[in-house]
Amino acid sequence: MQITIEKKPYASLEREAIVTPVFEADDPIQGRVAELDQLLGGLLKKLATSGELTGKNLEFTLLHAPTGLKASRLLLVGAGKREQFNGATLRKLAGAALRSLKGKSVRNFAFLAGGTLPVVEGAQALAEGFIAADFETDKYKTDKKEKKIETISLVGFPEGEFSAAEKGLAAGRVIAEALNFTRDLVNEPSNKLTPRILAEKAEAMANEAGLAVDILDDKKIAELKMGALLSVAQGSVEPPRMIVVTYTPANAKPGAPVIGLVGKAVTFDTGGISIKPADGMEKMKYDMAGGATMLGAIRALAALKPNVKVICVVPSTENMPGGKAQKPGDIQTAMSGKTIEVLNTDAEGRLILADAITYAKQLGVTHIVDAATLTGAIVVALANVNVGVFGSNQEFTDKLLASAKAAGEKMWQLPMDDEYREFIKGSFADIQNIGSGKGGGSITGAWFIREFAGDTPWIHLDIAGTAWNDDAKPWLAKGPTGVALRTLVHLVQTY
């Protein structure tokens, strides 16, 4: 799909459709829409008067053969109130317009941009919205939809702002393509994406993006005494991998921060001996979304070239029951030397993150963000709306929350009082992998990981509720969302 900045006036463009946002107001016929209304001989005014055109968020009005335009259709999309309009609204609007037109077999359209947001931000949001919306999860369908959007023209940017629009478009493209790279990994079923295959894909991505890569195999993992990762992997015939991808900026200052992006990549979580119920278990192929998000983020950063070093560490394994699987009550020794009582083999994400964090610290990271589909409890707390945020350092956590806001991703911080730490004190080892108290499951999970981060400023993102869309949205296909990637890219870029 091609997206280009079009300099010609929109009325002269021969396209299968022209799309324009309409803001919600007592009189929605204003500015660009008033201009279009004139071309259409007052038709839009009539629609507004009859209440059919209000500008309410994602209201769609499709007109054929619009007079005064060379395009064959005019699609008006409600943009909501102007005061509430931002990058997130524009992304959704753009995505929804694309998916709606694609459904009608439209192959090319122009989007009336400009005049809504600052130019760079607007062009970036449009590129992100279109490219993310174009992603389909039909990879394994033999009868694929023939429908395809071939070209999109962004028209209406003020003269003198074309290069700013190109800049926003380029950044948006990098980020959205990285997002789709992540979503494609997350969508892969576990028979097509084992830890070894994930490592191969990460290596190929790193080579293509010009990033350094190091894959630790099961032998090396054992040599390094990553006992927590190995304990999860021992039940599977598929060997684990620890994937390390590094971005080094051209002129890193000595003593500058090094950001560690650590992501859980359990390619399938059966629960192990503490096996999960059959109903819905198929979804546990997305238990590697945290790792995929970190790999996507560093892929984008390789192109955006921020001035900060980033080390991405992704522990990957299956969590299977079997004759060799670990059992409840087993005591394991993590790479850090801490002993862990595994009371529930389904709380495996924190185990593999423990060793990944120890290893990231050994590699020299000064700040850590981890992302993981860690707990079902986060869905109870925040539903499928907010990412759960936990942090050991408020200044660092505030930075991440500010990035989430700027990137338009919903995230909510949860408390980490010392009282919760008591819940994971071990009876027979240093710590236990589930809380002994009732409730607070996401917080005890976070506390477990924090034990391994120690004094290194650390943030944990629980994306179990937000990494997967159970239903398609007008702007996004059903399935993987790529949540947190845009926030992380923003965080590194502004560090």
Query: Per CB under 6 A, does 375 bind ligand BES?
Result: yes
Query: Per CB under 6 A, does 134 bind ligand BES?
Result: no
The C-alpha atoms of residue 488 and residue 320 are separated, in whole angstroms, by 31
Query: Per CB under 6 A, does 269 bind ligand BES?
Result: yes
Query: Per CB under 5 A, does 218 bind Zn ion?
Result: no
Q: Which of 121, 177, 188, 287 binds ligand BES (CB under 6 A)?
A: 287
Q: Which of 134, 177, 218, 287 binds Zn ion (CB under 5 A)?
A: 287
87-95, 202-210, 371-379, 384-392 -> range binding ligand BES (CB under 6 A) = 371-379
Secondary structure, 3-state, the chain: CEEEEECCCHHHCCCCEEEEEEEECCCCCCHHHHHHHHHCCCHHHHHHHCCCCCCCCCCEEEEECCCCCCCCEEEEEEEEEHHHCCHHHHHHHHHHHHHHHHHCCCCEEEEECCCCCCHHHHHHHHHHHHHHHHCCCCCCCCCCCCCCCCEEEEECCCCCCHHHHHHHHHHHHHHHHHHHHHHHHHHCCCCCCCHHHHHHHHHHHHHHHCCEEEEECHHHHHHCCCHHHHHHHCCCCCCCEEEEEEECCCCCCCCCCEEEEEECEEEEECCCCCCCCCCCHHHHHHHHHHHHHHHHHHHHHHHHCCCCEEEEEEEEEEECCCCCCCCCCEEEECCCCCEEEECCCCCCHHHHHHHHHHHHHHCCCCEEEEEECCCCHHHHHHCCCCEEEEECCHHHHHHHHHHHHHHCCCEEECCCCHHHHHCCECCCCCEECCCCCCCCHHHHHHHHHHHHHCCCCEEEEECCCCCEECCCECCECCEECCCCHHHHHHHHHCC
375 binds, among ligand BES, Zn ion, none (CB under 5 to 8 A by kind): ligand BES
Could you tell me which of 263, 259, 257 has the C-alpha nearest to residue 242?
Answer: 263
Query: Per CB under 6 A, does 61 bind ligand BES?
Result: no
Binding mask 452-491 for ligand BES (x = CB under 6 A): ------------x---------------------------
Decide if 219 is catalytic. no
For 168, residues 6+ apart whose C-beta sits below 8 A from its C-beta are 119, 120, 121, 122, 123, 124, 125, 126, 127
Given the structure tokens 């619009």, which residue do they identify? Answer: 66
User: Between residues 287 and 341, which has the closer beta carbon with respect to Zn ion?
Assistant: 287
441 binds, among Zn ion, ligand BES, none (CB under 5 to 8 A by kind): ligand BES
Query: Per CB under 5 A, does 370 bind Zn ion?
Result: no
Query: Per CB under 6 A, does 133 bind ligand BES?
Result: no
User: Between residues 298 and 464, which has the closer beta carbon with respect to ligand BES?
Assistant: 464
Q: Which of 292, 357, 377, 411 binds ligand BES (CB under 6 A)?
A: 377
User: Between residues 10 and 423, which has the closer beta carbon with respect to ligand BES?
Assistant: 423
Q: How far is CA 416 from CA 34, 128, 191, 251, 422, in A?
A: 53, 34, 37, 37, 11
176 binds, among Zn ion, ligand BES, none (CB under 5 to 8 A by kind): none
* Catalytic annotation, pick one of 70, 82, 196, 276: 276
Q: Which of 184, 346, 355, 462 binds Zn ion (CB under 5 A)?
A: 346
Segment 237 to 266, residues that bind Zn ion, using CB under 5 A: 266
492 binds, among ligand BES, Zn ion, none (CB under 5 to 8 A by kind): none
Decide if 276 is catalytic. yes
Query: Per CB under 5 A, does 269 bind Zn ion?
Result: yes
Shortest spacing between CB 290 and Zn ion, in angstroms: 10
344 binds, among ligand BES, Zn ion, none (CB under 5 to 8 A by kind): ligand BES
Q: Which of 344, 366, 384, 393 binds ligand BES (CB under 6 A)?
A: 344
The C-alpha atoms of residue 68 and residue 75 are separated, in whole angstroms, by 14
Q: Which of 55, 260, 349, 457 binds ligand BES (CB under 6 A)?
A: 349
User: Between residues 116 and 194, which has the closer beta carbon with respect to ligand BES?
Assistant: 194
C-beta nearest to ligand BES: residue: 376
User: Between residues 117 and 347, which has the closer beta carbon with respect to ligand BES?
Assistant: 347
Could you tell me which of 71, 87, 82 has the C-alpha nearest to residue 36?
Answer: 71
User: Between residues 5 and 429, which has the closer beta carbon with respect to ligand BES?
Assistant: 429
Query: Per CB under 6 A, does 263 bind ligand BES?
Result: no
30-38, 219-227, 340-348, 469-477 -> range binding ligand BES (CB under 6 A) = 340-348
Cα angle, residue 425 at apex, residues 338 and 357 outer, rounded to 5°: 40
464 binds, among Zn ion, ligand BES, none (CB under 5 to 8 A by kind): ligand BES
Shortest spacing between CB 490 and ligand BES, in angstroms: 25
* Catalytic annotation, pick one of 91, 241, 350, 399: 350
User: Between residues 75 and 347, which has the closer beta carbon with respect to ligand BES?
Assistant: 347
Q: What are the residues binding Zn ion (CB under 5 A)?
A: 266, 269, 287, 346, 348-349
Residues that bind ligand BES (CB under 6 A): 269, 271, 287, 344, 346-349, 373-377, 434, 441, 464
**Which are the catalytic amino acids?**
276, 350
